[in-house]
């Protein structure tokens, strides 16, 4: 699939952020590819091209998504070649051996990246994340793997997912390359990393610091937080938009959406983007209309009152 004419002009309209301290400018919205294998090749091709046309050319993969089939389908659908590769930003993750173990050994990381590159039909990844923490991590091995991948030109930027500050500091003690990304679950209804910062010195449940102030840590260390499942409540219990479980939240989102003349999806993403940490939402939808609504959020800046009204409508409280 060759990039359409005028692609670069369209892409420049998308708001961008810098990924950590890497200097890499990326779209403010990342496209999650976990469900890509639910599309056939033709639909996948159209979906990917739509994202590129919108300037949303940052694609987030993982070696466990469809057990590799999502990466393979992506490369086939996009018709991967050097020219096409220049027009997309590719991120993938490794470290999970489903049902067996988390594995951050040097051997596993190197083998995983080779498999990812083969499936994506490319020589390099723009970013590689370690997928969830490994209790048996030996940070020296991770450092050796990162160094080998960087020196070989196979990975340009490194990051983690679902890690707390101490786990990141442990890796960073040995890794010569900075951790640029931490991918964490965040949505209006899963906002513990925000709420615990508002309930400091309180005795209520919201005051419990469950993640080591990871949001503040990432801001202090110029680590980009990527928000996965921006529409989910619970772990993967469902989407809060339109859910009868969240009547007050949906009423408030719909009210603000009408004010701006946009969809509820747009407002849900705009809520995340309003935070000054420059959080990068990672979408999970394969619906092109919803992706367009997500991208629209980059054009909206909620007021402080609107942001807090949504926060409280989700059941969060202010002390």
Categorize the per-residue pLDDT at 189 as very low, low, confident or very high, splitting at 50, 70 and 90. very high
Position 7 pLDDT exceeds 60: no
Residues 65, 124, 174, 260: which is the catalytic one? 65
Any domain includes 254: no
Mean pLDDT of 241-249: 97
Any domain includes 41: yes
Rounded-to-integer distance, Cα 42 and Cα 126, Å: 26
Judged by DSSP in three states, 3 sits in coil
Any domain includes 252: no
Position 237 pLDDT exceeds 90: no
Count other C-beta atoms under 10 Å from residue 38's C-beta: 12
Any domain includes 109: yes
For the segment 88-98, what is each residue's pLDDT rounded down to a tens digit?
999 999 999 99
CATH number at residue 50: 3.20.20.100
Is 150 annotated as catalytic? no
Categorize the per-residue pLDDT at 9 as very low, low, confident or very high, splitting at 50, 70 and 90. very low
What's the angle, vertex CA 36, arms to CA 33 and CA 42, rounded to 5? 130
For the segment 106-132, what is each residue's pLDDT rounded down to a tens digit?
999 999 999 999 999 999 999 999 999
Q: According to the model, what pLDDT value does residue 4 have? A: 38
Any domain includes 108: yes
Decide if 176 contacts 148 (C-beta within 8 A). no
Position 222 pLDDT exceeds 50: yes
Residue 144 parent element (H or E) = helix 139-151
Task: At 113, list the tokens.
Answer: 């990246």
Categorize the per-residue pLDDT at 78 as very low, low, confident or very high, splitting at 50, 70 and 90. very high
Categorize the per-residue pLDDT at 236 as very low, low, confident or very high, splitting at 50, 70 and 90. confident
**Domain count along the chain:** 1
Decide if 79 contacts 88 (C-beta within 8 A). no
Any domain includes 263: no
Any domain includes 251: no
Burial of 17 (0-12, 13-18, 19+ CB in 10 A): middle
Mean pLDDT of 141-164: 98
């Amino acid at each position: 699939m060759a990039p359409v004419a005028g692609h670069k002009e369209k892409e420049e309209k998308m708001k961008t952020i810098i990924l950590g301290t890497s200097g890499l400018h990326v779209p403010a919205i990342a496209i999650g590819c976990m469900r890509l294998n639910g599309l056939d090749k033709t639909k996948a091709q159209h979906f990917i091209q739509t994202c590129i046309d919108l300037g949303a050319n940052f694609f987030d993969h993982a070696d466990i998504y469809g057990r590799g089939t999502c990466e393979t389908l992506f490369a086939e659908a996009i018709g991967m070649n050097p020219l096409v590769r220049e027009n997309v930003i590719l991120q993938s993750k490794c470290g999970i051996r489903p049902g067996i173990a988390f594995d951050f050994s040097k051997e596993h990381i190197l083998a995983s990246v080779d498999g990812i590159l083969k499936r994506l039909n490319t020589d390099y990844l723009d970013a590689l994340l370690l997928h969830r923490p490994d209790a048996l991590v030996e940070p020296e091995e991770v450092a050796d793997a990162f160094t080998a991948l960087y020196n070989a030109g196979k990975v340009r930027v490194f990051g983690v997912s679902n890690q707390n500050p101490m786990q990141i500091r442990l890796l960073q003690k040995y890794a010569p390359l900075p951790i640029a990304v931490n991918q964490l679950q965040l949505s209006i209804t899963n906002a513990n990393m925000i709420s615990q910062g508002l309930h400091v010195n309180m005795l209520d449940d919201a005051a419990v610091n469950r993640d080591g102030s990871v949001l503040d840590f990432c801001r202090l260390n110029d680590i980009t937080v990527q928000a996965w499942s921006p529409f989910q409540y619970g772990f993967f219990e469902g989407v809060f938009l339109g859910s009868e479980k969240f009547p007050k939240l949906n009423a408030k989102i719909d009210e603000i959406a009408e004010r701006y003349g946009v969809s509820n999806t747009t407002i849900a993403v705009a809520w995340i983007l309003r935070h000054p940490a420059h959080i990068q939402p990672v979408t999970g939808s394969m619906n092109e209309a919803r992706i367009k609504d997500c991208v629209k959020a980059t054009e909206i800046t909620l007021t402080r009152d609107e942001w807090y009204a949504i926060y409280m409508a989700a059941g969060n409280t202010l002390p």
